Structure 1
Amino acid sequence: MANHDGIGEANHQSIESAAPPVASPELNTLRSLVPETAAQPVTDLVDLGQSLLGQAEAFASSMLRPWNAYQLGIALSLWIVAHLLRTLLGPPIRNWMGTREGWPKWRMRILVVVHQRLRPIFFVALLWIAVAIMREATWPSRSYILGIIATLATAWIVVVFATRLIRSTFLRRVVRYGAWTYVTLHVLGLTNDAAVLLDRAALEAGEFRISLLLVVQAVVILGVLIALARFFTTTTSKRIQSNEDISPSMRVLIVKVLQIGFYGIAFYIGVKAIGIDLTGLAVLSGAIGVGLGFGLQKVVSNLVSGVIILLDKSIKPGDVISLGETFGWINTLGARYASVVTRDGKEYLIPNEDLITNQVVNWSHSNDFVRLDIYFGTAYGDDPHEVRRLAIDAAKNVDRVLSFKAPVCHIVGFGDSSVDYILRFWIRDPTQGLTNIRGNVYLALWDTFKEHNISIPFPQREVKLLETETTIGPD
């Protein structure tokens, strides 16, 4: 009965034993045009293609049998039912998800992924229910096609959920499509034929040989290993960044070392798993290293400078620095540059080499205390003792000026029209800005001097026009 109505085991035997079709004149012409040295690989590919074509024709002819066509119709009907279930149950499930505000983020992300793929999930569930019912009610061969479709759909859903762990969109798609292709070939029993076909499509030059099979294996293995390395790097980095016992600069250094280590191990294992011998690349890599050393001196210098900065802790994230005309705080320390954010929102990417070779003012290297100086002058008729006292009191009443580090005021010179003073005060939050606190102190001095009739002189000039007699013409 299985031989009469389904494809079952007998159909597999018929497919495998199907004789390949007779070579067409075009194929014979192709063989005659190929040189003798390359005739054997091309002949093997042609023979393998004919074998696969014969299996495909046998499989297609088996689909014309009634019960096989019925199974395809049942699968199509179940897909329509799954679509209707998604349309009816999707909005209520979405509304229920909106009420789960207290749930962890990882659980909500799983719910979102499940909600986005309700249709294939319903389809897989309906397929397995149909397969179970048909296996109980009729012969197993009459549910064979449905079983294959259910297995493929289940494997594809598992691949979709597994590849969601890969954050890179490009890498996720490569791994996903590669896994789908492998699963499909494995379920259909074409894995060995596909491997032979890909292995025969190769490029050979002496002892060097690279085939499509090797390329596919490299993409899949390296993709999976790099994804795992990225996952472990991200997880470890989060734990290190949250550890308050480690200084910020050491956190950055440890994270960079872990990234290099994980990705290096992933690449090494992937290359060894593919079967590539790395010893042959030693001389080539040495020559490339010398060339890169001359051509990328600045890049290497920035990398080494970045490591030195992280080790000596001279600059760390959160420090307020001045470099030339740039004043701001360190946002991040990268392998090649440091990100400095200024008060006006500009972000400067300063090469690490400049931070090593140039003079850098670190306002918060050992502590956050910063002393600021402002200069002003008063008229010679004002009492300098009173001026100093009023200036100190005005500075003390300004927010952000530290009281336990009392401001001081000194005479620094006698100018052409004023007595010159310097007022010094301390703050401990340079990240909040320096210009604004200076402006507030100047404004406090203005108000205090105006209240106590202290005058701030300014240069005055008098212009006199001299009258002179002008004679025109002869006497």
Structure 2
Amino acid sequence: MPDIPNLQPYVQSAIEWLLAHVLTVDAGVQLAAVLVTLCLALVLRGQIKAGVARMQTIARGGFVLRRLAALPLSIYVVLVWLILLYLILLVTTAAGGSHRLITIAVSLQTAWVIIRLTSGLLRNPLASRTMASVAWALAALNIIGLLDPTLAMLEGVSASFGDFRISALAALKALAVGAFLLWAALAASRFVELQISRSVSLTPSIQVLTSKLIKIVLITLAIVVALSGVGIDLTAFAVFSGAVGVGIGFGLQKIISNLISGVILLLDRSIKPGDVIQLEGTYGWVNTLSARYVSVVTRDGVEHLIPNENLITQNVINWSYSSRKVRLRAPLGVSYDTDLPHALKVCMEAAGSLDRVLNNPAPNCLITGFGDSSIDLELRFWVEDPEAGAGNIKSAVYLAVWEAFREHGIQIPFPQREVSITNWTETKQSEKTPPPSED
């Protein structure tokens, strides 16, 4: 059951602090000074913005000016407010007046500026704002002297699960440490992945596999360290191992199968990024390999997400597995009165004139049969860029052959049928003879 402490002492302490330090005449004067300087800084916002704009125009002169010009306008406004408050603090101190509230305001603004500049190093805006907010809240509590009472109150709010007790403070520490370690693990994995991708000695599949394994290890290590750091006994999770095994065996069967299939694909290198594959009518090149699926982009620009299990259990045509050279076939026909040796030569020369068609191996044209209306031929040629498409190069080959046939007077026949009628004369005479009379 959750253990909630008595909050009355904390509330009483807060009321006494307000009566002693805030709800006084001196505090009212200091608060007025803080508000006046804030209004003055906001009034000067236009001049500050113009100064930043001038700084941006001359920022090409040096690195420091470029960095300063890139800072948000709000930081300059707070800096002006901080300078005005600091001048009032100097005057008040020299005059021997009370300045506790002004000192707190100056400390809070100084902490905000430092935290804001530090958190700006993070590229993720959400992480930057979260880090700035948490750090400034802790700094504010420490400056006004409420950090220790707040931590004590959070430590008093707890929940017990058998012999295990966890407080709100421990939960917040675990969350903060886990978030930091997870961010560090992801940043480290991105750095390692970048270095691995630059390695020319590793194949693309080994690069992907190594990067994913390192990422999984780093994230797992971050979670384990975060849980251990707050005093959570990891052996308690052994109780759930049986339930997790049953869940994997039934509910997560397909997911685990796809994960294992993905590892197998990366290890045997049967499918790699950049390969041209064909599966269940889908023809395209492999864009990325992920833990659960393979991204295949077709010639139409459509991206298919194919589960890894399908690539293991079904027949896959990999056009570029061992060699990127692919032979294509273009069936055609010529009329029976064609000079066949000349027609074969014209076909091979027409295909060889295209840039994508390889000269080694050279195009070849064969006679495949004698059809009803034409002599059937098959033009075979090789390309080494199957990812550029097979249908478009076939169309280009057919066009080149058509133009070459027209140039050399070779005809492509259309379907023809010869109809022979026997006993034509006897049939016509029987039609003219009148039938016998019944009389």
User: Normalising to structure 1: TM-score of the pair?
Assistant: 0.80
1:7 maps to none
Deviation track 1:339-387 (CA, whole Å, cap 9, x = no partner) reads: 1111111001111111111121222222321111110111111122111
Contact 2:284/2:298 (8 A) holds in 1? yes
1:378-457, aligned counterparts within 5 Å? 378-457=334-413
Alpha-carbon distance in 2 for matches of 1:289, 1:63:
68
Do 1:85 and 1:122's aligned partners in 2 also have CA atoms closer than 8 Å? no
CA distance in 1, matches of 2:12, 2:253: 56
Letter in 2 for 1:455: Q
Alpha carbons of structure 1 residues 443 and 196: separation in structure 2 relative to 1, 3 Å: same
Distance of aligned partners of 1:249 and 1:396 in 2 relative to their CA distance in 1, 3 Å threshold: same
Choose which of 105, 124, 138 in structure 2 pairs with 1:182. Answer: 138
Please list, as runs of the form range in 1=range in 2, the aligned pairs for 1:12-411 lying within 5 A after superposition. Answer: 44-62=6-24, 64-65=26-27, 68-69=30-31, 71-73=33-35, 75-77=37-39, 79-80=41-42, 83-96=45-58, 112-114=70-72, 117-128=75-86, 131=89, 133-134=90-91, 137-139=94-96, 142-411=98-367
| Cα 1:55–1:463 shift into 2, 3 Å | farther
Q: Distance in 1 between matches of 2:38 and 2:305?
A: 57
Worse-superposed segment, 78-87 or 440-449: 78-87
Following superposition, the deviation at residue 447 of structure 1 comes to 0.7
Go from structure 1 to structure 2 and tell me whether the alpha carbon gap of 1:162 and 1:69 turns closer, same or farther (over 3 Å shift).
closer
Contact preservation (8 Å) 1:371, 1:426: yes
Question: Deviation string for 1:308-363 (max 9, x for gaps)?
Answer: 11111111111111112111111111111111111111001111111111121222
Q: Percent identity?
A: 38
TM-fit CA distance, 1:176: 3.1
Q: Equivalents in 2 of 1:341, 1:48: separation in Å? A: 63
Q: Is the 8 A contact 2:285 2:298 kept in 1?
A: yes
- What secondary structure is seen at the aligned counterpart in 2 of 1:332? strand
Normalising by structure 2, report the TM-score. Answer: 0.87
Q: Could you tell me how far 1:408 is from its partner in structure 2?
A: 0.6
| 2:50 aligned partner, one-letter code | L
Q: Quick one: distance in 2 between partners of 1:208 and 1:389?
A: 87
1:166-199 per-residue CA deviation (whole Å, 9 max, x = no partner) reads 4455444443322222111111111110012122
**Partner letter of residue 112 of structure 1?**
A
8 Å contact from structure 2 (residues 278, 318) kept in 1: yes
> What's the secondary structure of 2:270's corresponding residue?
coil
Check the 8 A contact 1:306/1:335 in 2, yes or no: yes
Gaps of 5+ in 2: 421-426, 433-437
Q: Size of the alignment, in residue pairs? A: 427
* Structure 1 position 417, deviation (Å): 1.2
RMSD: 3.2
Q: Matched residue of 1:61: which SS?
A: coil
Q: CA deviation at 1:273?
A: 1.5
